[in-house]
Amino acid sequence: MENNESKEFSGSLEECSRTSKAPENKSKKRLVLIFLSMIILSSCILISGRNKLTRLINKLFGPPTVELQEVYSGLPNDIVFDHTIFNELLRTHVDRQGWVDYTALKGDLGKLDIYIANVASAPFYKLGRDQKFALLLNAYNAFTLKLILDYYPIDSIKDIPKAKSWDDVRWTIGGNVWSLNQIEHQEIRPKFMEPRIHFALVCAAVGCPPLRNEAYDATRLDEQLNYQTQFVHEHKTWFALDTEKNSVGLTKLYSWYGSDFDQLKGSVINYAAEYSSELNKHLKSNQVPAIQWLDYDWGLNSSQNKVNR
């Protein structure tokens, strides 16, 4: 009897052990599945929301968001500002791919200073819409060249403290003294409904759109801006569509200034498709590619750093 009781007791313990382990194993499996599901869900959220997160970060720490509008529309362009000196400098020291011979340009610093002095005394408030627009674009690019020459030789514009580069209130246009950031974010972006300026204003970096080797001309602005924008969307430095992976690499200019492009076309993808027939065709097949932000090379856009675009 004692042996039978022992056997029964032992069997009961084994049964109890089995029944208690079964829920425990199920719980562990359940926890593992929940954990894996959370990882997968988090990954999906990160992938799908990466662009929104990037845009949020840019909104908090990047360039200010502005409302695009045409402030000077309808103003006649009767008064003409002469950009001949700047045009000659660009023709001489910038090649057709936008690479700058800063060493040679420094030898022509006197001419650049004359042009900048002319800009300082320009009849800014008397100029019509297109004349004013061309002046602001050319002045910004001329000031940036002057800034680089002030510190040349350097490897990048980022080697210059921000307080002495984009935020330095030192540049005069028609008697107004502004910083480069003020010219872009206060005098151009909110006063001209024209996102193509982001492919025309140059920050002296390899990752920037190329510096045009001619001055902007009030009588040819649309043609010149269109060329600049088209050039960007035909070169892998700024644009790369992969239809098989359903992804598109875009310059970070689209990320930093996304709101400007949204206001005209609803999204950066729609805007880019205006200048890429391949992307436009891809969108018409009801495929919206995921955006990959391309690396932005802050190396100096000098002829010594020339690479394939």
Q: For 113-141, what is each residue's pLDDT tens digit?
A: 999 999 999 999 999 999 999 999 999 99
Average pLDDT score over residue span 46-73: 72
168 neighbors 124 (Cβ within 8 angstroms):
no
Range of lowest pLDDT (21-30, 96-105, 134-143, 208-217): 21-30
If 0-12 CB within 10 Å is exposed, 13-18 middle and 19+ buried, where does residue 193 land? middle
Predicted confidence (pLDDT) at residue 66 exceeds the cutoff of 70? yes
Share of the chain above pLDDT 90, in %: 78
Give the tens place of pLDDT for each residue, 245-262: 999 999 999 999 999 999
**pTM of the predicted protein model:** 0.83
The predicted pLDDT at position 127 comes to 97
Predicted confidence (pLDDT) at residue 53 exceeds the cutoff of 80? no
Higher pLDDT, 298 or 32: 298
**Structure confidence at residue 41 as a pLDDT band (50, 70, 90):** very low
Handedness of CA 56, 203, 305, 308 (dihedral sign): positive
Packing angle, helices 84-93 and 109-120, rounded to 10: 150
CA angle 203, 192, 288 (to 5 degrees): 75
The predicted pLDDT at position 57 comes to 63
Q: Which among 128, 143, 269 is positioned nearest to 192, based on CA atoms?
A: 128
**Structure confidence at residue 48 as a pLDDT band (50, 70, 90):** very low
The predicted pLDDT at position 9 comes to 44
Predicted confidence (pLDDT) at residue 45 exceeds the cutoff of 50? no
The predicted pLDDT at position 289 comes to 97
Q: Which among 79, 147, 62 is positioned nearest to 113, based on CA atoms?
A: 147
The predicted pLDDT at position 90 comes to 98
The predicted pLDDT at position 27 comes to 63
The predicted pLDDT at position 50 comes to 54
Give the tens place of pLDDT for each residue, 253-290: 999 999 999 999 999 999 999 999 999 999 999 999 99
The predicted pLDDT at position 21 comes to 53
Predicted confidence (pLDDT) at residue 46 exceeds the cutoff of 70? no
Q: Give the 3-state secondary structure of the chain.
A: CHHHHHHHHHHHHHHHHHHHHHHHHHHHHHHHHHHHHHHHHHHHHHHHHHHHHHHHHHHHHCCCCCCCCCCCCCCCCCCCCCCHHHHHHHHHHECCCCCECHHHHHHCHHHHHHHHHHHHCCCHHHCCHHHHHHHHHHHHHHHHHHHHHHHCCCCEHHHCCHHHCCCCCCEEECCEEECHHHHHHHHHCCCCCCHHHHHCCCCCECCCCCCCCCCCCCCCHHHHHHHHHHHHCCCCCCEEEECCCCEEEECCHHHHCHHHHHHHHCCHHHHHHCCCHHHHHHHHCCCCCEEEECCCCCEECEHHHCCCC
| Calpha distance 288→86 (Å, rounded) | 42
Task: Map out the domains of the chain as residue ranges.
Answer: 1-53, 84-232, 239-293
Predicted confidence (pLDDT) at residue 28 exceeds the cutoff of 90? no
The predicted pLDDT at position 74 comes to 86
The predicted pLDDT at position 1 comes to 43
Share of the chain above pLDDT 70, in %: 80
Give the tens place of pLDDT for each residue, 153-198: 999 999 999 899 999 999 999 999 999 999 999 999 999 999 999 9
